[in-house]
Structure 1
Amino acid sequence: MSKNKTYNMEIEKNIYNFWEKNGFFKYNKNINQNNFCIAIPPPNITGSLHMGHAFQQTIMDIIIRYQRMQGKNTLWQTGTDHAGIATQIIIENKILSEEGKIRKDYNKKDYINKIWKWKKESNKIISQQMRRLGNSVNWKRERFTMDEKFSKSVKEAFIRLYKDNLIYRGKRLVNWDTELHTAISDLEVKNRKKKVHIWYIKYQLANDEKTLDGKNYLIIATTRPETILGDTAVAVNPEDLRYKNLIGKKIISPIINRYIPIIGDKYADIHKNTGCVKITPAHDFNDYKIGKQHQLIMINIMDLNGNILNKLEFFDSNGKLLNIHNCEIPKKYHGINRFIARKLIVSELEKIGALIKVKLYETNIPYNERNGIIIEPMLTNQWYIRAKFLAKNAIKAVEDGRINFIPQQYKNMYYSWMNNIQDWCISRQLWWGHRIPAWYDKNGNIYVNYNEDKIRIENNFDTNFVLNQDKDVLDTWFSSGLWTFSTLGWPKKTNALKMFHPTDILVSGFDIIFFWIARMIMLTMYFIKDKKNKPQIPFKTVYITGLIRDEEGQKMSKSKGNVIDPLDIINGISLEDLLKKRTTNMLQPQLSKKILKNTKKEFPEGIKAYGADALRFTLTALASTGRDIIFDMKRLLGYRNFCNKLWNASRFVLINTKNQDCGQNGGKINFSLSDYWILTKLNNTIKNYSEALDKNRYDIAANIIYDFTWNDFCDWYITISKILINKNDKVQIRSIRYTLIEVLEKILRLAHPIIPFITENIWQNIKSIKNIHDLTIMLQPFPKFDESKINKIAFEKIEWIKKLIIAIRNIRTEINIEPNKLLHIFFKSESKNIITLVKKNQIIIKSIALLKEITFLSKNETPPVSITKLINNAELNFPIENTINIKNELHRLDKILLKLQKEKKIIEMKLANEKFISHAPLNLIEKEKNRLIENIKTKTKIETQKITILSFYLKNKKNN
């Protein structure tokens, strides 16, 4: 070990190389039992890992190291995700900023090659980050969701689902990104509350119809007047007395002057706006549902860029194109962007007298959270999975406990989505992704198989028969939904699949329960069967972590510029490099100025280096069951100090044990009281710590190991050891050496899953003292609770001595005695055992409590004028003369008496309360009575002490 008093973080890289080079992360291929597997949620190849990744991966590494040390055959399956939309956005921003080009300036092959080059760079960064974090993943089995084997499994899954009639193609309304030109998932749409204009527009009633109050028009309120071009009905509530007589009549949509029906539907809210709602099924999701129910025509008014068409497109309620010729749009709107068209239409409405009023209105506007584009509901042809069928088994697996959620509350979130699940749109109009294995002939017939050759062979098509492959790719979540079993070799029946599936635990965030977790369960249970041919689950436990937020409670995101790269905490980073990193490869480059400003404010001097272990310990301590986790940079320093504390404690142990007789080679050990105490403490810690890990309470485990190592081992036992070593008693020193090395070595094994680097480094230095010949601590057995090492009597005795010393320290603080001033105390107790205990351990008490002398008084002896402190059957007396500031002490005693008086009054009121006496349990009533007795006794003692001090003060004053 280094002689430095500060732990050197540079050794962490060498330690990881040592682990990886020796293959310690691999599993034993010949073991078919006691296997344990975690599949990493594959990070997107969109740059680098953020704190959320570091947090979850730290938890996973703790789990896998803990299970490995318990003798299990472990596999932590790693890999990355191609992240279709996110990656394509980054590449498009990159080529625009670096080359001034857009996607259309490239042919598809060259563009895809650019992404593969990016993937290589991103993968390198991510793997470097994971290594630096200490992740003990099996790198030899690393997978990518678009590698050759994975692509085969994706095609296999699509083909099987299609042949089983669980995948179909249809024209339906989707969330459309007019910039990326692709459908996106409902789950990727973020609604932002915004104040917008709402326009009140006059719609003329047809055929001289009138409302009950004699008007020949209805007023419709809308925030999207451009969609007037696609109106196919106006809805009123059938219970609305103002309009119910008009249901079934016609109304004229302005601008386009189309006759459309008035329908009755409870979707129209009597109390909202005018109670009349225009229905545009091809451009609004609620309207789409109403259109399906009422079998309304659907009219598409826009192209895929969000520009107004030259001719309207008419579809029936099932999405079939209708041959309607009268579908011209006024020329002034042709090819105009949707938002410009809105202004032109509002102007036209005003011109023709159809605009009644305009006001501000707060509503939700849907955005693609990745690029900030406002989403347009659009009728397009897409591929869908019949999710309701797949959801049945997936719901049942959670209901019957085969899959368990931690914390349990997330079951309800899972059920609420699964019970209302809609068909899943799995196609995306991108270049980057798994191309859909479907081909079309000239008549639009669909053929699905691995490739065109197989389709020709299967259908006996010659080379003249024209086939064109679908240009769409699959949703990223479709391929990642196969992750747990595809990474293990499916569709082949591999040994790895047999050994490690189902996996044991999935660590993930609540924000992707719908995106990924639910879909993994559905797809796995459809494709993978157990020995009895029953659906197999992908994992037994889902451990849901909270979301890492910054110190102000904000979600960490690149768009906010508050993302922290874990490597910047581990290695440190200058402000200049941090600014550059936060504004490179952004999804929304327009936010860079704001990000630069916020970063300079938050980290004016950059970020200091803390090392991987300090970061891991911080993240572990934060792993509560809460939904939001505030990452506080200040906590890092505390856990960095913990690593230094362990480092220096280990240096002390090595100095006193290396090349010494530590009792490791046999012979009787004459343990001291403090030896028994720390060994008892250690075993209780092993028990509580293991229980916390078993219950996935990593925050509790972190606090347990921190408290034992820092307080019990370093602050108490090592301090006592130093005192006893100085006595130079060879027998006692031998027991101390044995205990020091025994406790430290077990601390290292206990703490290893959380802080693997420092524990490995120290363990390599002490293993020879323990006669251990294994290569690494990570393959050592995890410590087990040993009841035979529990010595309750010794434990209680040292705990009593600790209380005594703490009481003396507290008195020093309370009455402002100089910290280093040696005190003379007078000790009195009615217990002979207590007196004997103190006398036998005087050297420890005097050294730690900084006492010059302890005078033992008999029962009838009176100490000099003193401050008295009562502690469990004993009385400590601190002589006043030359010790305290009398005025300050009298003030302190008055405060105590006031507190005791208030407490006494509360207890007396409680005991005088008839309801309390008649309803409270007898033991509680007895407890309150005992509290009152103790209160009176303490009050009497304090009053006596006050009188004594006053007498001393007055006497001295008189003499002077």
Structure 2
Amino acid sequence: MLEKTYDSAAVEPRIAQKWDEEDAFRAGAGAKPGAETFCIVIPPPNVTGSLHMGHALNNTLQDIMVRFERMRGKDVLWQPGMDHAGIATQMVVERKLMEQQLHRREMGREAFIDKVWEWKAESGGLIFNQLKRLGASCDWSRERFTMDEGLSEAVLEVFVSLYKEGLIYKDKRLVNWDPKLLTAISDMEVEQIEMAGSLWHLRYPLEPGVTYEHPIAFDAEGKATEWETRDYLVVATTRPETMLGDTGVAVHPDDERYTAIVGKHVILPLIGRRIPIVADEYPDPTAGTGAVKMTPAHDFNDFDVGRRRHLRMVNILTVDGHLTLAGNEDFLEGLPATDELETIVSALDNVERFAARKAIVAMFEERGLLDRIEPHKHTVPHGDRGGVPIEPRLTEQWWVDNKTLAKPALQSVREGRTRFVPKNWEKTYFEWLENIEPWCISRQLWWGHQIPAWYGPDGQVFVEKTEEEALHAAIQHYLAHEGPMKAYVEDLLENFRPGEILTRDEDVLDTWFSSALWPFSTLGWPDKTAELARYYPTNVLVTGFDIIPFWVVRMMQMGLHFMKDNKGNPVEPFHTIYIHALVRDKNGAKMSKSKGNVIDPLDLIDEYGADALRFTLAIMAAQGRDVKLDPARIAGYRNFGTKLWNATRFAGMNGVNGAPDFIPETVSLTVNRWILTELSRTIRDVTGAIESYRFNEAAGSLYRFVWNQFCDWYLELLKPVFSGADEAAKAESQACVAHVLDETYKLLHPFMPFMTEELWAHTAGDAKARDGLLCHAEWPVSSYADDLAAEETNWLIELVTGIRSVRAEMNVPPAAIAPLVVVGASDLTRERLERHAAAIRRLARVDAIDMSSVAPKGSAQIVVGEATICLPLGSLIDLAAEKMRVEKALAKTDQARERILGKLSNEKFVANARPDIVEAERERLAELDGQKASLIVALARVSEAG
């Protein structure tokens, strides 16, 4: 006998241990002979990470598909693994070392890397144990890590191949530079933070002898009516500290104010550099003054304009965000040697960037060149880990030719070989690839895949998989060319010092580089392994929309470039990309630590169990709609599990003990034929919904079947059978209940694996076929149909439900027994009423069932099929008092609605209130709308009855 209550805290660890002991999730476990494969690669969590709600949703949806396909007999591999998370991991280890007063630069690279590996062995991978608590059925024996030996070999193969194809190269371009971590970072590691700042309007003098007419007054139509002669331009900037690196001023070619001075020059204040005025489409003539200072070495837009208009690139910032002026040849080139320049350089050299901002603004003010200052709220990019504003910085880095690699990736989705679900995410994918920029893949870190590039004494680069290969290539290169380098290398070789020929590049690769290879590197590539041949390409990728550009795009690019079929055609890494939405708080606000609304999935598992959390996430995961997670909903779906548990206990107490030889087609009772038909319909609906990634619909179908049809109606209708004297009917029903429970456990298993595995083991009875685990049981097939039985029982349910609703709406006391009068019944309805009279009396709490040609006065009425069902209520309730009660409730509801409508029609409230508060008001309004509709129906009923 089952325990009275389900204890998730006790059951879940025991079931997890059982799965582990039986190696239940290894690749191919439970597969039929010759089965087709189904493979998913887990989006690798960071080695520093811990389970958050995004992980919980992502892995729940993957696990539903994986368990579903495993039960369908496919050869399933769910490939787990972790990302080495370059910056995050290096920061964690550096902080721990600082507690011991140790610094990585003092330790040296090798010793520091050893410490990182030590940390990884002791503390990394916590998230795997957390995923196991969630029930993730990965093949844990195949765990991979982006820095393990096999994946590192794949990284070397890809880097060297792309370099030799000309698709990886070195170039000097702008990057997101973190002045705290001293490295380039990716766009994904940049957080846009809105800040209150200033917009400084600065005057740049025109070169001597140059003036122009600037409009100062306008008519009602915006046409200039007055002008003044100016010998300066006004530029507006939020970053005055970069003005020392200006190499031009840009205006729009159609801006008539400046047409006469395009091609002329301004004299850069403070330092006297002569810089050109150029025409370019980038400046917005309607924004500010329409004239924009160009700092190509410190602004991404300016960099693009600078390249188009051939402006100089002058870097004036150090790696840690200080001005670098003295000794900076790029900065000093072409500047007049004046006392003022020497004073400026002396005052600002090596000054921190924000201190330099204040000093430069003061200098402009002293010279009468500060036109005005405006308060200005704007977004400032910050490094998400360093926490300080990033600097666009001109540095020499390694880059990938994204445009070339993008073409096959675009074509694959356009031609339908890979599809997005929901389809609307294709737009994001296309926009990114159609406008893609080169990818900066080098990072100034120590933890990561060190770039396989070595430099000769003259800076010549040699890219090979090993230092030995690079040295061989260098010796061949230098000895083949006459000159001083040949003699130098010959001398080193003669004196047995070949190690002095090359110096290795210190940078490591962007973490996303190794992640881009994940679908095939985890299967053993570049070796031709059996796993690679069997499981590649994978089937579906499940991920969030935020990493479409950073991971999805790059996996498509790399997979199509390196993976080919037997005919040499490119092979996509997956045929479907399922993009799930965000998990937000109950009011629709994005979760963040600063808001204090972060929900820890492990806390929810502790309180409600993993099954309840999983089922909640699944039933709320409608395509394209964010999940608004309210712990109260999880409590509700825990009750759903309790409902099934209690139903199983009830079945056991009524003699249900397995049915190994049950044949659905042999049942005779209408109620049993009905539940088997509804079960078959549910199997069809759930299977179709999972296949089409409509997880919420699959979960919803299961909820309706288990709670409403099986528990509320089927078991209730069987109570007289179980307590009756008809042993044949009882035996048939016991077997049918056992069968339906077994099939229900199977259907629910992908969603609620722990409880269903426990119930499967406890309800085996004498069934020999139940020796195995539920996770390997065969998925149900939709094969039974008795539409007549289903129609009749559903008619009975509709009738009883309608009567119950009327009783509730009319406030009839639960114990009161009401008469029932049926008007206009057909012969079929009369037969059904007679056949099910006992059930109707018991379930609807009515006594006599009479037929009539007219509805009695003082009765509430409902229509079921062709018949009108009448409940004479005059003797049961005070109709006048009930009408008054409903009218008061309706008035109160209307008042509450008007109050909320007033708020939502107030533009200031909607604009200024927090989005989650506005959304909560909208949800409350929808709730009141539903209440009002119900009260209107109740008022109509009581009015008709009166």
Per the alignment, do residues 691 and 356 of structure 1 end up closer, same or farther by CA in structure 2, a change over 3 Å counting? same
Per the alignment, do residues 859 and 560 of structure 1 end up closer, same or farther by CA in structure 2, a change over 3 Å counting? closer
The aligned runs of 1:362-377 (5 Å cut-off) are 362-377=377-392
Aligned letter for 2:581? Answer: G
Distance in 2, matches of 1:776 and 1:149, equals 33
Query: What is aligned with 2:21?
Result: 21
Normalised to the residue count of structure 2, the TM-score between the two structures is 0.86
- 1:300–1:312 contact (8 Å) kept in structure 2: no
Query: What is aligned with 1:157?
Result: 158
Distance in 1, matches of 2:825 and 2:547, equals 65
Query: What is aligned with 2:508?
Result: 473
Aligned letter for 1:555? Answer: K
Aligned letter for 1:550? Answer: D
- 1:7–1:643 contact (8 Å) kept in structure 2: no
- 1:825–1:877 contact (8 Å) kept in structure 2: yes
Query: What is aligned with 2:444?
Result: 429
The correspondence for 1:345, drawn from 340, 357, 360, is: 360
Distance in 1, matches of 2:290 and 2:806, equals 75
Per the alignment, do residues 525 and 942 of structure 1 end up closer, same or farther by CA in structure 2, a change over 3 Å counting? closer
Distance in 1, matches of 2:660 and 2:840, equals 27
The correspondence for 2:370, drawn from 349, 355, 359, is: 355
Structure 2: gaps of 5 or more residues: 214-227, 477-492, 889-936
The aligned runs of 1:409-808 (5 Å cut-off) are 409-460=424-475, 462=493, 463-464=497-498, 465-558=500-593, 561-571=596-606, 609-658=607-656, 664=661, 669-786=666-783, 789-808=784-803
Distance in 2, matches of 1:943 and 1:751, equals 42
Query: What is aligned with 1:120?
Result: 121
Query: What is aligned with 2:284?
Result: 269
Aligned letter for 1:371? Answer: G
- 1:182–1:430 contact (8 Å) kept in structure 2: yes
- 1:64–1:76 contact (8 Å) kept in structure 2: yes
1:90 equivalent in alignment to 2:92: yes
Query: What is aligned with 2:301?
Result: 286
Aligned letter for 1:27? Answer: A
**Local SS of the residue matching 1:13:** helix
1:404 Cα offset (Å): 0.6
Query: What is aligned with 1:74?
Result: 76
Query: What is aligned with 2:109?
Result: 108
1:180 Cα offset (Å): 0.4
- 1:525–1:538 contact (8 Å) kept in structure 2: yes
- 2:79–2:139 contact (8 Å) kept in structure 1: yes
Distance in 2, matches of 1:520 and 1:814, equals 58
How many residues of Structure 1 are paired with residues of Structure 2 in the alignment? 859
**Local SS of the residue matching 1:519:** helix
The correspondence for 2:864, drawn from 847, 862, 871, is: 871
Residue deviations 1:662-701 (CA, integer Å, cap 9, x gap)? 5837799552111111111111111111111111000011
Distance in 2, matches of 1:763 and 1:90, equals 44
- 1:815–1:885 contact (8 Å) kept in structure 2: no
Residue deviations 1:381-435 (CA, integer Å, cap 9, x gap)? 1000111110011101101111010000011110001011111100000111111
Query: What is aligned with 1:886?
Result: 879
- 1:569–1:610 contact (8 Å) kept in structure 2: yes
Residue deviations 1:791-845 (CA, integer Å, cap 9, x gap)? 1111111112112212321232133221133344345554333222222222222
Query: What is aligned with 2:230?
Result: 215
Distance in 2, matches of 1:360 and 1:866, equals 71
1:561 Cα offset (Å): 4.9
Aligned letter for 1:298? Answer: M
In percent, how many aligned pairs have the same letter? 41
1:13 Cα offset (Å): 1.0
1:91 Cα offset (Å): 3.4
Residue deviations 1:504-551 (CA, integer Å, cap 9, x gap)? 000000000001000010011111111110111111100000011222
Structure 1: gaps of 5 or more residues: 572-608, 896-937, 950-960
Per the alignment, do residues 239 and 799 of structure 1 end up closer, same or farther by CA in structure 2, a change over 3 Å counting? closer
Distance in 1, matches of 2:863 and 2:167, equals 77
Distance in 2, matches of 1:892 and 1:871, equals 28
1:942 Cα offset (Å): 8.2
Distance in 1, matches of 2:271 and 2:747, equals 75
Per the alignment, do residues 454 and 505 of structure 1 end up closer, same or farther by CA in structure 2, a change over 3 Å counting? same
- 1:658–1:769 contact (8 Å) kept in structure 2: no
Per the alignment, do residues 237 and 882 of structure 1 end up closer, same or farther by CA in structure 2, a change over 3 Å counting? closer
The correspondence for 2:850, drawn from 834, 842, 856, is: 856
1:237 Cα offset (Å): 3.0
Distance in 2, matches of 1:859 and 1:202, equals 95
1:565 Cα offset (Å): 3.1
**Local SS of the residue matching 1:383:** strand
- 2:60–2:136 contact (8 Å) kept in structure 1: yes
Per the alignment, do residues 313 and 529 of structure 1 end up closer, same or farther by CA in structure 2, a change over 3 Å counting? farther
Query: What is aligned with 2:53?
Result: 51
1:39 equivalent in alignment to 2:36: no
Per the alignment, do residues 428 and 193 of structure 1 end up closer, same or farther by CA in structure 2, a change over 3 Å counting? same
The correspondence for 2:67, drawn from 62, 65, 68, is: 65
1:390 equivalent in alignment to 2:405: yes
- 2:456–2:474 contact (8 Å) kept in structure 1: no
Query: What is aligned with 2:203?
Result: 202
Distance in 2, matches of 1:491 and 1:32, equals 26
Distance in 2, matches of 1:47 and 1:894, equals 56
- 2:656–2:734 contact (8 Å) kept in structure 1: no
Query: What is aligned with 1:238?
Result: 253
Aligned letter for 1:61? Answer: D
- 2:2–2:762 contact (8 Å) kept in structure 1: no
**Local SS of the residue matching 2:173:** strand
Cα root mean square deviation, aligned: 2.9
Aligned letter for 1:542? Answer: I
Distance in 2, matches of 1:208 and 1:866, equals 100
Query: What is aligned with 1:847?
Result: 842
Q: Please say which of residues 394-403 and 773-782 is displaced more in the overlay.
A: 773-782
Aligned letter for 1:286? Answer: N
Per the alignment, do residues 739 and 274 of structure 1 end up closer, same or farther by CA in structure 2, a change over 3 Å counting? same
1:373 Cα offset (Å): 1.4
Query: What is aligned with 1:916?
Result: none
Per the alignment, do residues 849 and 309 of structure 1 end up closer, same or farther by CA in structure 2, a change over 3 Å counting? same
- 1:48–1:565 contact (8 Å) kept in structure 2: no
- 1:7–1:647 contact (8 Å) kept in structure 2: no
Per the alignment, do residues 174 and 868 of structure 1 end up closer, same or farther by CA in structure 2, a change over 3 Å counting? closer
Distance in 1, matches of 2:87 and 2:444, equals 9
Query: What is aligned with 1:180?
Result: 181
**Local SS of the residue matching 1:27:** coil
Per the alignment, do residues 809 and 504 of structure 1 end up closer, same or farther by CA in structure 2, a change over 3 Å counting? same
Per the alignment, do residues 795 and 659 of structure 1 end up closer, same or farther by CA in structure 2, a change over 3 Å counting? closer
- 1:82–1:144 contact (8 Å) kept in structure 2: yes
**Local SS of the residue matching 2:292:** strand
